[in-house]
Structure 1
Amino acid sequence: MKKYILLPTLIGMLLISSFMFAQNTEKISPSLQKGIIEELSRQIKKEYILEDIGFKMSSRLDSLSKIGSRTEMDSEAFIKMLNQELRSVYADKHLGVVNPKRFKEFQKMLGLDQNQKKDHHSKLKQKSNHNMHDYKNGQGSHAEDADKVIGNELAGSRVINRDGRTNIGLINLSRFDGTEKGLMNMKELLSSFVGVDAVIIDLRNCKGGDAEMVKALSGYFFDTSTYLVSTIGRKGENGKRETIERWAIANELSSKFVNTPLYIMTSALSFSAAESFSFGLQLNKRAILVGETTGGGGHMNAFFALPGGYGVSISVGRTFDGKTGKGFQGTGVQADILIEADHAFAKTLELIKHKRTAELGYDDSKEKVHQTLQQLSEAWYTGDFKSAKSLIYSKYKAYLSIDNESIVNEVNLLKLIENGTGAKTPREVRNREISIYEVRNDETATARLMFRDQIHYLHLINDNGTWKIISDLITLKQMHG
Structure 2
Amino acid sequence: MDTVKEINLSKKEISEFILKSVVLLKKNYIFPEVADKVCSRLERGLTEGKYEKLSNHEELKKSIEEDLQSVNGDKHLHIMIQENHSDNAEEVSDEEMVAEYKRVAEINNYGIHRIERLPGNIGYIDLRVFYDMDTVPEASESAINAMNAITHTDALIIDLRKNLGGTAYMVSLFASYLVKEPTHIESFYRKDEDKTSQVWTLPHVPGQLYLDKPVYILTSKRTFSAGELFAYAMKNMGRAEVFGEITGGGANPGFYHQVTEHIRLFIPSGRSISPVTGGNWEGTGVIPDQEITAEEALDAAYEKALMKNREKYEERKEYSFLVKEIDDVLAELHGKK
TM-score by length of 1: 0.59
Point out the structure with max Rg over C-alpha: 1
Structure 1 residues 157 and 28: alpha-carbon distance in aligned structure 2, compared to 1, 3 A threshold: same
Letter of the aligned partner of 1:156 in structure 2? R
Q: Answer yes or no: is the 8 Å Cα contact 2:110–2:131 preserved in 1.
A: no
Q: Which structure's relative contact order is higher, taking Cα pairs within 8 Å and 6+ residues apart?
A: 2
Letter of the aligned partner of 2:241 in structure 1? I
Note if 1:194 corresponds to 2:194: no
The offset of 1:280, in angstroms, is: 0.8
The offset of 1:358, in angstroms, is: 2.2
Give the whole-Å Cα distance in 1 for the aligned partners of 2:177 and 2:273. Answer: 22
State the partner residue of 1:177: 131
The offset of 1:192, in angstroms, is: 2.4
Structure 1 residues 194 and 99: alpha-carbon distance in aligned structure 2, compared to 1, 3 A threshold: closer
> Which of 326, 330, 335 is the equivalent residue of 2:279?
326
Give the whole-Å Cα distance in 2 for the aligned partners of 1:227 and 1:81. Answer: 40
Give the whole-Å Cα distance in 2 for the aligned partners of 1:367 and 1:343. Answer: 29
1:416-470: CA deviations, max 9, x gaps?
A: xxxxxxxxxxxxxxxxxxxxxxxxxxxxxxxxxxxxxxxxxxxxxxxxxxxxxxx
State the partner residue of 2:219: 266
Structure 1 residues 216 and 372: alpha-carbon distance in aligned structure 2, compared to 1, 3 A threshold: closer
> Which of 3, 7, 10 is the equivalent residue of 1:28?
10
The offset of 1:213, in angstroms, is: 0.8
Structure 1 residues 337 and 224: alpha-carbon distance in aligned structure 2, compared to 1, 3 A threshold: same
- Where 2:124 maps in the other structure, the secondary structure is strand
Note if 1:159 corresponds to 2:117: yes
Note if 1:246 corresponds to 2:199: yes
Structure 1 residues 43 and 267: alpha-carbon distance in aligned structure 2, compared to 1, 3 A threshold: same
Single out whichever of 245-254 and 196-205 deviates more from structure 2: 245-254
Q: Answer yes or no: is the 8 Å Cα contact 2:110–2:142 preserved in 1.
A: no
In structure 2, the gaps of 5 or more residues are 333-337
Higher strand fraction (1 or 2):
1
Give the whole-Å Cα distance in 1 for the aligned partners of 2:158 and 2:28. Answer: 34
Q: Answer yes or no: is the 8 Å Cα contact 1:41–1:58 preserved in 2.
A: yes
Give the whole-Å Cα distance in 2 for the aligned partners of 1:372 and 1:67. Answer: 67
Structure 1 residues 351 and 377: alpha-carbon distance in aligned structure 2, compared to 1, 3 A threshold: closer
The offset of 1:375, in angstroms, is: 5.2
Note if 1:85 corresponds to 2:67: yes
- Where 1:265 maps in the other structure, the secondary structure is strand
State the partner residue of 1:278: 231
1:50-91: CA deviations, max 9, x gaps?
A: 111012112222334444689674234444332222222221
Q: Answer yes or no: is the 8 Å Cα contact 2:306–2:330 preserved in 1.
A: no
Give the whole-Å Cα distance in 2 for the aligned partners of 1:372 and 1:98. Answer: 47
Q: Answer yes or no: is the 8 Å Cα contact 1:220–1:250 preserved in 2.
A: no
1:251-288: CA deviations, max 9, x gaps?
A: 24575312122111111111111100111111110111
Give me the identity figure in percent. 24
State the partner residue of 2:80: 98
The offset of 1:178, in angstroms, is: 3.1
Give the whole-Å Cα distance in 1 for the aligned partners of 2:305 and 2:150. Answer: 16
Structure 1 residues 100 and 340: alpha-carbon distance in aligned structure 2, compared to 1, 3 A threshold: closer
State the partner residue of 1:313: 266
1:380-416: CA deviations, max 9, x gaps?
A: xxxxxxxxxxxxxxxxxxxxxxxxxxxxxxxxxxxxx
Structure 1 residues 83 and 361: alpha-carbon distance in aligned structure 2, compared to 1, 3 A threshold: closer
- Where 1:89 maps in the other structure, the secondary structure is coil
Letter of the aligned partner of 2:106 in structure 1? D
State the partner residue of 2:34: 53
Q: Answer yes or no: is the 8 Å Cα contact 1:207–1:269 preserved in 2.
A: yes
Give the whole-Å Cα distance in 2 for the aligned partners of 1:370 and 1:325. Answer: 43
The offset of 1:44, in angstroms, is: 0.6
State the partner residue of 1:225: 182
The offset of 1:169, in angstroms, is: 1.7
1:123-162: CA deviations, max 9, x gaps?
A: x9xx9xxxxxx9xxxxxxxxx833212x26222212222x
- Where 1:299 maps in the other structure, the secondary structure is coil
Give the whole-Å Cα distance in 2 for the aligned partners of 1:331 and 1:75. Answer: 33
Note if 1:38 corresponds to 2:37: no
Structure 1 residues 114 and 343: alpha-carbon distance in aligned structure 2, compared to 1, 3 A threshold: same
Structure 1 residues 224 and 244: alpha-carbon distance in aligned structure 2, compared to 1, 3 A threshold: same
State the partner residue of 2:245: 292
State the partner residue of 1:355: 308
Structure 1 residues 68 and 216: alpha-carbon distance in aligned structure 2, compared to 1, 3 A threshold: same
The offset of 1:116, in angstroms, is: 3.8
